[in-house]
Structure 1
Amino acid sequence: MDIKTYIESGILELYVAGVLSEKENQEVYNMMMEHPEILQEVLEIESAAIKLTSAAAPSSNRKKIFQAVKDHLGLGKSGKVVTIAKSKYNWITYTGWAAAIILGVGFMWLANENRQLESDVKISNTQIDLLETQIERSKTSLEEANTLISVLRDDNITQVPLAGQGNFSSTYAKVYWDKTSNRIFLDAQGLPTPPQGTVYQVWSLKLSPLTPTSLGTIDDFTSDENKIFEIENANESEAFGITLEPAGGSETPTMEQLYTLGVVKS
């Protein structure tokens, strides 16, 4: 499905207004979970509706405004939607800011109308799920940020720059090794997105004799925006390296695909 076409269909405005069926709400919710740009669009529509409503006409004129909104959206006495606006911006161009204010009030009217039609006033399960997801993501991000800040400020943390190797000389990464808690934080911002069917694999190395120990693969590299990964490491590492391997990883590093390497300074 084309994301731009979906956003411009008008269904997100109706979702915010609260007039979609449970099945349609679930569809919009699934799209928001899969496409961050759709979630961002919904949040912007909600914000715009609140701002427009607060600037709406006096209460003495609201009955006329509500009727104008109902006529514009094609709402009959049954409250069912007959037509949907073509684009999220078309409504602004109808009659300038006046039309925008009308539609802002309309969002609130439609939401109230929908609640009155229900026997029990309640928030839909999909909206609750979305709110809980947003809260959980915020908590997780905050916890990760606080952890990383404490690591970066700790003088006992060993920092190991990983330089690009061979054909991958333009790549780079950095390891922050917390020996007390047997973990490393890998900053992999300098690595390109791995080709489909491959993953980056992190290695702890002993240099004499050369003995590589796998610290695991970075399976969520593409989806992680910060490109900072926490990895367990109980090894007495003398160096760290990152190779590109087939999905699932390899028992030994593919040296032809060694992207970065860095030696721990004593």
Structure 2
Amino acid sequence: MENLKAYIESGVLELYVLGDLSPEEMLQVEEMASQHKEVRDEIASIEEAMEQYAISNAIEPPKDIEQKLFDKLGLNLLDEEEVIVNQEEYVSDPKIIQLDGSDGKVRTLRYALVACVALLVLSVGALFITYNKLNDAHNQIASLNLDKQKFAGVVSQLEYDNKGLNNIAEMAESKEWATIRMQGQAISPKSKMNVYWNKKDKSVLINYLAMDLPKADAEHEYQLWALVNGKPVSLGLFGKSDSTSNEAIIKMQTIQEAQAFAVTLEPMGGSVNPTMEKLTVMGGV
């Protein structure tokens, strides 16, 4: 009995039902089945289980597929009343080829078809699950890339701010640099900006972190002026006060002497003389 139990649990009966055994192995299984009721019962149980699985997972074909199949075979669908046909007519009908096969072969073909349908259902399910997982992975990668870009922007801004603050601290501690604090004028009372003037080499710097000016539009930019003996001298142009694409510290033109500094809003490219109605900030030395 132990050998019989091991034989039943070996999986050979499942392969027999699926038709995956050689002819010699098929005969061996049939011989065992003829000798042992347990083997016959197990084969019947496997067949029934596969049939139930195939039925529960069956995919209903299009309504016209049966007619198309019979058309390919050269047959016509019959009504239920016309199904009963004499065996002699089957043999004599030239359109029908009589198959010479045992019940075992027909049963094998039937369950092989059931197995194919089951595998097809499982494959479709696996493909659907894989597609969903790929979609989820794609969304996660896109989200990570977006987070990476945001983080890079934050780091860039912090580096920019840190550089500007370090330069302000260094210039404030140095005796060579004079800080000119300019206050808002009538056009923009709340504006403010600092200019750093080196007493030794006469260089002039501005720091974006130390300025608060209205945002310039696409047709205008700011122009820095030095007031020398009552006459304005242009020290160069600079862009938006909220721009982080520039260096935190901008070097302007040098000036040997000045009594005051001022900023006006001018058309792109600057002006020869300051537009006084656009005077934004101003401060004395």
Please state which band the TM-score falls in when normalised by the shorter chain. 0.3 to 0.5
TM-score for the superposition, normalised by structure 1: 0.44
Which structure is higher in helix share? 2
TM-score for the superposition, normalised by structure 2: 0.42
Look at both structures and tell me which one has the larger radius of gyration over its CA atoms.
2
